[in-house]
A and B are shown apart, each in its own frame.
Chain A
């Protein structure tokens, strides 16, 4: 059974940093593109970033302007999102997800990031 478990969320002040992690199990992690998708409270879904199987190719939503970095560790079957210069508008639940057939096949339960002073 595919399992994705996010961690690292919490309350952070504007301008602060946070590193999210996603632990994967139950599938061949190193064979999949992986993504982060976020959802602000009461809002829709927004793709944040994705990364290819060996970490050599990364893509980000334009609005992030270089503040976030996606990475992965295939030996530990983990996905990460380093978030810097956080803003109030980054407040959201962040999901990690597998990517296949140009869609997000499996999702974690999400971790909540709240950016507030």
Chain B
């Protein structure tokens, strides 16, 4: 079973800063990786699919990159509404454990 490891577990940043979240797979998953955002009390929302394609309606400040085993979600300039938990997911439906993005 392919395991996804997200880092860091918690990231504390200020609005306007750049956020870089990592997801590492235990073996190659090509580009079959998605990223989700989840706010308290809400369902997850798809941000990125196939490693780098933005889902419909997702702002351009969100970008995904990587292939093989190492993937990155970048938020270029944090807005107040971006503080949430972020999950990665690979094609076998396994999720990472999540990264909590907190306001510093």
Query: Which A residues fall within an 8 A CB radius of B?
Result: 35, 37, 44-47, 50, 61, 95, 100-110
Contacts and interface: CB of A to CB of B under 8 A. Distances in A.
B45 interface: yes
B36 interface: yes
Given A44-B97, A45-B95, A95-B43, A103 B34 contact: yes
A4 B95 CA distance: 21
A2 to B, nearest CB: 10
Interface residues of B, number: 22
A44 B38 CA distance: 10
Nearest to B98: A44
A45 B97 CA distance: 8
B87 A104 contact: no
Given A44-B87, A107-B44, A102 B95 contact: no
Contacts of A103: 34, 46, 49-50, 89
Given A45-B44, A110-B43, A104 B89 contact: yes
Contacts of A35: 93
Interface of B: 32, 34, 36, 38, 42-46, 49-50, 53, 55, 87, 89, 91, 93-98
18 contacts: A44-B95, A44-B97, A45-B38, A45-B98, A47-B94, A61-B93, A95-B43, A95-B44, A100-B49, A102-B34, A102-B49, A102-B50, A102-B91, A103-B50, A103-B89, A104-B44, A105-B55, A107-B45
B20 to A, nearest CB: 20
Contacts of B44: 37, 45, 95, 104, 107
